Structure 1
Amino acid sequence: MAFGGDVVLRERARVEGDAVAFGGAVIQAQGARIGGDIVTGFRGSRRGVDFLRRWGIVGILFASIIFYLFLMLAIAVVGILLMLLLPNVLQSIAAIINQYPLKSGLWGLGSIAALILLTVLLVGSLFGNLLIPLVNLIVMVAGLLSAISMSLLIGKKILTAPSRLPMQQFLVGILILGLIGLIPIVGGLFFFAVAIFGFGAILLWLLGKVQPPIVGQTHDQVGN
């Protein structure tokens, strides 16, 4: 049995049981005998093992940063498109986070706990096999909207001048959000908080529990 490597059987090798290689392969020379089964799995992890051996922790860290930067760039591109297509939706979610942070946090924690419980209860069932992928898709979309809305809110807190466009505020916010995410531990906790508050705000908006004015809008503008 090998983990992250190959099982190599030479000409006169004899295995009474199974030959198992996770993250590798079973290489059997002519004349080698295996009494049981040949089991292989997770072949893609072999590349990760080879990469780690060659480049070490520094290489893994560098690859993680590159992946993170591409991820943030993808979020920024999607955010720009949504700012052009659905600006009022994003501004409404950002306004709910800003004006109802406690309620958004509680609703977010409750929704995440409910999704985890639902996944645990349905895993392995036929209904779960159909529903869990849909739940995962909903979580991904909600997480994306959360990051974009929080970026817009951060940008509005920094660029407070009335002449600033929402697109400018979003771009500044996503830049700051990306920089915070690079901080070890703190970045992960911050993104978790973004997901919680974002999930809660999205639910409050969808269910019509609160209807706050757009962030940065004055009370006179709301009355008009």
Structure 2
Amino acid sequence: MNKKKRAEIFARLRNENPQPTTELRYGNPFQLLVAVALSAQSTDVGVNKATEKLFKKVKTPQAMLKLGEEGLKQHIKTIGLYNTKASNIIKTCKLLVEKHGGKVPEDRESLEALPGVGRKTANVILNTAFGHPTIAVDTHIFRVSNRTGIAPGKHVNEVERKLNKFVPDEFKQDAHHWLILHGRYTCIARKPRCGSCIIEDLCEYRDKTEN
């Protein structure tokens, strides 16, 4: 995979979807933080169903603390690991109120200090809520990066490092969303839909399919 190929891949993805964004529904950075925390090992569709009523009631960390951990559980009990997620979200809300004036911080160190927030979640918040050119490597991005040859790596940190190195600057802001959507709907895990892929001729995957 060379520089010219990578640039063409992202140019095509941009042409198909000029303004990509997350499929999680949210109204402000705090709600996005909650949605991303809930999305671990869960689908965006499932998270959106759970947060539809929750986010009508809860728009701030203060409101979430008023709802309480048990109240939150009632909204999210359809989501996997909901007990742990509810506990972390309430702890996070306390820190947001105590240390950040009820606002979601815009720096990585502060974000990663929040309970249940790792590097991937921090990257999503920095990118989607605040417009930083970060790339969060989830299972979709890890698969697409390795399968296509865009940024192969044995672990997520290696893939993230290579993506930051190899993705042309003009595409970095939206690369995260393009790669997730491509992995979710075209370059799917079990059998990629190579026959209907707009970057098939640029991809270096050896076992391409016809569908």
Q: Same fold (TM over 0.5)?
A: no
TM-score of the superposed pair, with normalisation by structure 2: 0.30
**More strand by percentage:** 1
From the CA coordinates, give the structure whose radius of gyration is larger: 1
**More helix by percentage:** 1
TM-score of the superposed pair, with normalisation by structure 1: 0.29
